[in-house]
């Protein structure tokens, strides 16, 4: 699994909006918000659900994640996000696959069979050969996606999956907890 935080955006904007609820920022421009006062309020509200931490939805994070298909199936549970992927529909027939394309090594004979199907699809471009190839792909096939998610979703992921039985979830939660710009909003209890 490979994870990179490409960009985070919206922290000050989220604090400005949060301040409106308390009458703190009613007459304040973004460039002049009292970050320290609002940061304390944000830290108090971040662990509270039921709409109290809705400001977390305004903090966006773009991630570059390469993970096995079985991990992405579970990640799709978190719907308040958008993903753009290296689509197997458009990329699977462009090159032969290697062991490094999988989370764990697969049987060499099986890899050879998959590559025979890659060659067949590359030459025929029929939907039947594509479906046959996609049918043969193991769940451990690595797929890269750019994932846009907000802090509220990340907070839910960390709290729900930090000790998950799949090691990729533990790795993901640890990485986000260590590398997010405002990790204090994600990890507070």
**Cα separation, 7 vs 189, whole angstroms:** 25
Task: Give me the residue label for tokens 């907890």.
Answer: 177
The better pLDDT of the pair 81, 159 is held by 159
What is the pLDDT at residue 80?
67
Backbone angles phi, psi at 66, to 5 degrees: -115, 120
Give the rounded percent of residues in the chain with a pLDDT score beyond 70. 92
What is the pLDDT at residue 62?
97
Q: Which secondary-structure segment (H or E) carries 20? A: helix 11-21
Question: Residue 79 — pLDDT band, cuts 50, 70, 90?
Answer: confident
Q: Which two tokens stand for residue 186?
A: 């994600």
Distance, CA of 174 to chain centre: 13
Alpha helices in 33-139 (DSSP H): 35-45, 69-75, 88-91, 108-124, 127-136
Contact 174, 34 (CB under 8 A): no
Q: Which two tokens stand for residue 74?
A: 């579970």
What is the pLDDT at residue 175?
98
Going by C-alpha positions, the residue among 175, 184, 153, 173 that lies closest to residue 49 is 153
Going by C-alpha positions, the residue among 59, 21, 51 that lies closest to residue 38 is 21
Q: What is the greatest pairwise CA distance in the chain?
A: 68
What is the pLDDT at residue 29?
76
* CATH 3.30.1360.170 residue window(s) in the chain: 2-83+143-187
**Cα separation, 172 vs 170, whole angstroms:** 5
Mean pLDDT of 167-174: 97
The better pLDDT of the pair 92, 173 is held by 173
Residue 160 pLDDT exceeds 90: yes
**Cα separation, 144 vs 85, whole angstroms:** 6
Contact 58, 9 (CB under 8 A): no
Mean pLDDT of 62-80: 91
User: What secondary structure does DSSP assign to 108-124, as a single string?
Assistant: HHHHHHHHHHHHHHHHH
Residue 136 pLDDT exceeds 80: yes
Note the pLDDT tens digit of each residue in 89-121. Answer: 667 888 999 999 999 999 999 999 999 999 999
What CATH number was assigned to the domain covering residues 2-83+143-187? 3.30.1360.170
Alpha-carbon distance values, 39 to 35, 98, 148, 183, 184 (Å):
6, 48, 23, 12, 10
Note the pLDDT tens digit of each residue in 17-66. Answer: 998 888 887 887 777 776 668 888 999 999 998 888 999 999 999 999 99
Judged on CB neighbours under 10 Å (0-12, 13-18, 19+), 128 is exposed
């Amino acid at each position: 699994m490979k994870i990179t935080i490409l960009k985070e955006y919206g922290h000050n904007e989220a604090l400005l909006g949060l301040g409106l609820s308390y009458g703190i920022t009613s007459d304040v421009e973004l460039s002049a918000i009292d970050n320290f006062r609002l940061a304390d309020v944000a830290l108090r509200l971040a662990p509270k659900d039921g709409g109290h931490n809705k400001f977390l939805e305004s903090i966006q994070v773009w991630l570059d994640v390469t993970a096995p298909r079985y991990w992405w199936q579970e990640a799709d549970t978190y719907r308040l996000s958008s993903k753009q992927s290296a689509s197997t529909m458009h990329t699977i027939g462009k090159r032969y696959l290697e062991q490094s394309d999988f989370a764990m090594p697969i049987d060499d004979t099986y890899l050879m069979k998959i590559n025979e199907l890659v060659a067949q699809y590359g030459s025929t471009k029929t939907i039947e050969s594509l479906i046959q190839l996609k049918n043969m792909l193991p769940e451990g096939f690595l797929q890269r996606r750019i994932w846009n998610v907000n802090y509220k979703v990340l907070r839910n992921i960390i709290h729900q999956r930090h000790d998950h039985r799949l090691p990729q979830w533990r790795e993901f939660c640890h990485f986000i907890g260590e590398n997010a710009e405002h990790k204090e909003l994600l990890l507070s209890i």
